[in-house]
């Protein structure tokens, strides 16, 4: 059964039999390129002794590949209409559990502790694109005991999420990702690899979660500074920080002086260490 799921005729027949129609609002674009899931599962770190948290099962193409390689797979899927489909497509696997819930509402700490006691855990998912960043920030900010997060996202999102400090594409989200992890793009995936085909191409990225944040600064102050610094495009750091942190110009200048960061610099040029220095000076 699973071998055929990337076959469009088999997939369409399966969905029709269950009366399933795609929900655009839930970001339902299912993978139909047979080479992508095995590669994602492998490069995402699924293997003996490893527990995998997946988000969004669809009809279970990636779930099945993860189940083949990993010790155990737990998948959070919001759409209850997919449950009978998954019962059928994943029938051969005894190491898969589907949790019918919204990943933005689930207590992930408790879920991981309950489902993967003492196991190394990785996250692997083809994310619903309407909430890519919120899901990733939720996974990272909770500092879950997870070794790596390997996800399919839109190509532009992949570039932004993995952008290095100092590069043109860097934004607040790139800095946040780097604070918690070491990101890299694994491989591109064309829009034709999905049913229905989305309007843009995709890419798989992997975030290797750091045991400790990259720099020494309390998260709350660090992210206040980062958000303020990127609040106005093409403005100097001095202007952004005084606006974003509600400081008088003179106070913002003194803050930058204490941190040893030039007031005329722009957020895109700053290293993580410089953001941390400002957060500590705050
Ligand atoms: N893994 C499948 C694949 O690769 O073909 C499906 C990927 S599809 C891009 C995203 C999946 O996430 C859909 O099955 C959708 O129902 C589910 N989903 C959307 N929003 C969700 C949420 N908030 N919590 C959990 N699952 C969600």
* pLDDT tens-place string over residues 201-212: 999 999 999 999
Neighbour order of strands in the sheet with 148-154 = 96-100, 72-77, 50-55, 120-126, 148-154, 202-209, 181-189
* Burial of residue 26, with CB atoms counted within 10 A of its CB: 0-12 exposed, 13-18 middle, 19 or more buried: middle
Measure the CA angle with vertex 282, ends 144 and 168; round to 5°.
70
pLDDT tens digits along 49-90: 999 999 999 999 999 999 999 999 999 999 999 999 999 999
Q: Are strands 202-209 and 181-189 parallel, antiparallel or unpaired?
A: antiparallel
pLDDT tens digits along 145-165: 999 999 999 999 999 999 999
Dist. CA 27 → ligand 1 center (Å): 6
* Cα 57 to Cα 100: distance, rounded to the nearest angstrom: 10
Q: What is the pLDDT of residue 108?
A: 98
Bond prior to 196 in cis (omega within 30° of 0) = yes
Cross-strand bridge partners of residue 126: 152
Q: Which of 58, 129, 197, 199 to mutate to test the pocket of ligand 1 (most atoms within 8 A of CB)?
A: 58
Closest protein CA for atom 5 of ligand 1: 30
Establish whether residue 128 lines the binding site of ligand 1, counting it when its CB lies within 6 angstroms of any ligand atom. Answer: yes
Q: Are strands 148-154 and 120-126 parallel, antiparallel or unpaired?
A: parallel
What confidence category does residue 6 fall into, taking pLDDT thresholds of 50, 70 and 90? Answer: confident
When mean pLDDT is compared across 1-10, 71-80, 103-112, 120-129, the lowest value belongs to 1-10
- Ligand 1 atom closest to residue 32's alpha carbon, by position in its atom list: 5
**Mean pLDDT of all residues in 168-187:** 96
Residue of 79, 72, 122 whose CA lies nearest to 97: 72
What confidence category does residue 2 fall into, taking pLDDT thresholds of 50, 70 and 90? Answer: low
What confidence category does residue 3 fall into, taking pLDDT thresholds of 50, 70 and 90? Answer: low
Contact in structure between 252 and 262 (CB atoms under 8 Å): no
Establish whether residue 28 lines the binding site of ligand 1, counting it when its CB lies within 6 angstroms of any ligand atom. Answer: yes
Rounded to two decimals, the pTM is 0.95
Establish whether residue 102 lines the binding site of ligand 1, counting it when its CB lies within 6 angstroms of any ligand atom. Answer: yes
End-to-end CA distance of the chain: 58
pLDDT tens digits along 229-242: 999 888 999 999 99
Residue of 190, 192, 123, 183 whose CA lies nearest to 158: 183
Cα dist from 30 to 91, 136, 151, 194, whole Å: 19, 20, 14, 5
Structure tokens at 221: 């102050």
Strand extents, DSSP E, 155-236: 181-189, 194-195, 202-209
Residue of 28, 27, 40, 31 whose CA lies nearest to 8: 31
Sign of the alpha-carbon dihedral angle for 240, 246, 249, 251: negative
Dist. CA 54 → ligand 1 center (Å): 9
Is residue 92 pLDDT above 70, yes or no? yes
Q: Are strands 30-31 and 194-195 parallel, antiparallel or unpaired?
A: antiparallel
Establish whether residue 61 lines the binding site of ligand 1, counting it when its CB lies within 6 angstroms of any ligand atom. Answer: yes
């Amino acid at each position: 059964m699973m071998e055929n799921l990337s076959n469009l005729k088999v997939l369409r027949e399966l969905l029709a039999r269950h009366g399933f129609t795609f929900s655009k609002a839930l970001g339902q674009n299912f993978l139909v390129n047979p080479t992508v899931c095995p590669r994602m599962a492998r490069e995402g770190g699924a293997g003996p002794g490893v527990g995998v948290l997946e988000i969004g099962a669809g009809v279970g193409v990636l779930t099945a590949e993860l189940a083949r390689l990993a010790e155990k797979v737990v998948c959070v899927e919001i759409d209850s209409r997919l449950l009978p489909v998954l019962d059928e497509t994943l029938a051969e696997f005894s190491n898969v559990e589907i949790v019918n819930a919204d990943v933005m509402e689930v207590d992930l700490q408790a879920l991981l502790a309950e489902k993967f006691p003492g196991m190394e855990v990785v996250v692997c998912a083809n994310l619903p694109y309407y909430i890519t960043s919120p899901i990733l920030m939720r996974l990272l900010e909770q500092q879950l005991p997870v070794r790596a997060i390997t996800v399919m996202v839109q190509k532009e999102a992949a570039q932004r999420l993995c952008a290095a400090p100092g590069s043109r594409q860097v934004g607040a989200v790139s800095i946040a990702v780097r604070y918690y992890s070491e990101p890299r793009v694994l491989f591109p995936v064309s829009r034709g690899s999905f049913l229905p085909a989305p309007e843009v191409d995709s890419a798989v990225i992997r975030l290797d979660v750091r045991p400790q944040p990259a720099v020494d600064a309390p998260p709350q102050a660090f992210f206040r500074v980062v958000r303020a610094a990127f609040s106005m495009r093409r403005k100097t750091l001095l202007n952004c920080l005084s606006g974003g942190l509600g400081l008088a110009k003179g106070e913002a200048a003194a803050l930058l002086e204490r941190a040893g960061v030039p007031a005329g610099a722009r957020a895109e040029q700053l290293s993580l260490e410089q953001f941390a220095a400002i957060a500590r000076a705050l």
